[in-house]
Amino acid sequence: MCIARSLQEFATVLRNLEDERIRMIENASEVLITPLEKFRKEQIGAAKEAKKKYDKETEKYCGILEKHLNLSSKKKESQLQEADSQVDLVRQHFYEVSLEYVFKVQEVQERKMFEFVEPLLAFLQGLFTFYHHGYELAKDFGDFKTQLTISIQNTRNRFEGTRSEVESLMKKMKENPLEHKTISPYTMEGYLYVQEKRHFGTSWVKHYCTYQRDSKQITMVPFDQKSGGKGGEDESVTLKSCTRRKTDSIEKRFCFDVEAVDRPGVITMQALSEEDRRLWMEAMDGREPVSNSSGKYSKNEAAQLDSIGFSIIRKCIHAVETRGINEQGLYRIVGVNSRVQKLLSVLMDPKTASETETDICAEWEIKTITSALKTYLRMLPGPLMMYQFQRSFIKAAKLENQESRVSEIHSLVHRLPEKNRQMLQLLMNHLANVANNHKQNLMTVANLGVVFGPTLLRPQEETVAAIMDIKFQNIVIEILIENHEKIFNTVPDMPLTNAQLHLSRKKSSDSKPPSCSERPLTLFHTVQSTEKQEQRNSIINSSLESVSSNPNSILNSSSSLQPNMNSSDPDLAVVKPTRPNSLTPFRKAKALYACKAEHDSELSFTAGTVFDNVHPSQEPGWLEGTLNGKTGLIPENYVEFL
């Protein structure tokens, strides 16, 4: 209030002073500029006209006089007298004009003494009036200025006296934040992101939400981040139930579903953290998700390798091969989660699943069907290639000789249970068909390995070793696709002895160029969730597709990573990127692939981008670095340290 009053006083003083200044400028035109302009036009202008007349008469008089002096003395007396009379008349007229000119000049000189000085004096009088008005304003403002000065000094003293106390309170609130919570009339309040349906899909809109437990009233106020204020109309609903949302049912983290009494459907909300979600659910008496609701399946309806499971996979494969085998990004582009869950509900319904001849309707998009196939494989009690064989498949992929890799994987596949092997054969035959159309769908064998590796060969425990072996999971799938006819249609040879296996590893591979599964192997970390692994790998796939049309750009940027095929040194057969040293956490790193950020905390970049200050992040499988002054998260498996 004191600041507002002082600003009003300042405005009043400045307004009065400005009004007086404008009045002074307006009067200057009347008392100074107009009189001087009149003096210039009337007096000085008249003197200039008199001078022109004088110059003209002077020239005329001098001409006649010169002509008269040149007359011959032999002329008649009468002619000479006439000439003398004419010269006298001209001399008399010249004399009169000269007097008039001198009179006018003298008049201007005299008038200048008062007609020029008097307007200047009048202007100065107006200027003095302006300054006197300012003096009077300053005099009237003096009392308020004194009070305001005292008030400002008292405010400064209070600030300096209480600053240490406020700083001490801040430290206490940092140490014990729960003990210093603001007293609020609401049971819970804070920011939440609410999922809203749009014509082009769904979007997450930031809201400031409050909840009152007594009335079970939830109020949602849209928040505009740019303007920092209210972004729309408030909405209030009455809570019916609150349920935690499983991570595998939605791409976002920290989500929960709210059902309202006075609003149809489910409202999906995203909290700011796991702790924030826990507090909201406690306030709303939330519960854990129950089975067999909204696309969740109970144990009796879980995915199995039975007749229903084979029927579902066959229907999906048939739909893809008949309707969408040439769609770009097949299996890499995911469908809308709600649509995928709905399709699985239809396919897993015992009534429709028994109808083996019924195809999937054309209303379902291909990306929805491919996502349903992958989701069903992830819903199996264990991976299709089984937990107990996971390490064996990884060891087989690490063999340096291609023939040994294929032979070992061939043997392992035939050790799988019959149904697992049949399902795997069905799937590999289909993926080989997809890869054969890679010119249209851009899904090569390597890209399909990136997509299906984490799904078919996921580890039982997310250990560091398992995270580092993700690349080898992809290579196993590539080998299965490339050699599917041999692996599934022939009986494997007798396994090699240790001595033979050792000799096979020593064989040179220079006799033929390396295939996609013989390229140098790179170890890297990745995130824990299988779905996130697939998403990161799919991003690698998209970056490979984007440069497939111009391979020279990749050769220039990654030439340092290529092995020297002509070298006889066996240590150069595999090139591995340098790994970060814990003693030097802040280093430079270069991107091996392109990546588009999915969240504000992540960085978007292209292949070859160089990051500064790269160091481990608190998020598993992620690094933190700086690009163009912005700090964010970087997938660890996308970069190599310089």
How many Cβ atoms from other residues are within 10 Å of residue 348's Cβ?
Answer: 22
Take residue 222 and report the two structure tokens written for it.
């849209």
What DSSP character marks residue 29?
I
- Look at residue 31 in the predicted model and tell me its pLDDT: 87
Show the low-confidence residues of the chain (pLDDT under 50): 291-300, 495-536, 539-584
pTM equals 0.38
Q: Write down the H helix ranges in 29-76.
A: 34-39, 45-69
Strands 266-270 and 255-260: antiparallel
- Look at residue 181 in the predicted model and tell me its pLDDT: 62
CA 297 remoteness from chain centre: 37
- Look at residue 161 in the predicted model and tell me its pLDDT: 83
- Look at residue 326 in the predicted model and tell me its pLDDT: 94
- Look at residue 547 in the predicted model and tell me its pLDDT: 36
- Look at residue 607 in the predicted model and tell me its pLDDT: 83
- Look at residue 507 in the predicted model and tell me its pLDDT: 40
Q: Which of 319, 290, 306 is nearest to 348 (CA)?
A: 306
Buried b / exposed e across 466-488, counting CB within 10 Å, b at 16+? bbebbbbbbbbbbbbbbbbeebb
Buried b / exposed e across 186-211, counting CB within 10 Å, b at 16+? ebbbeebbbbeeeeeeeeebbbbbbb
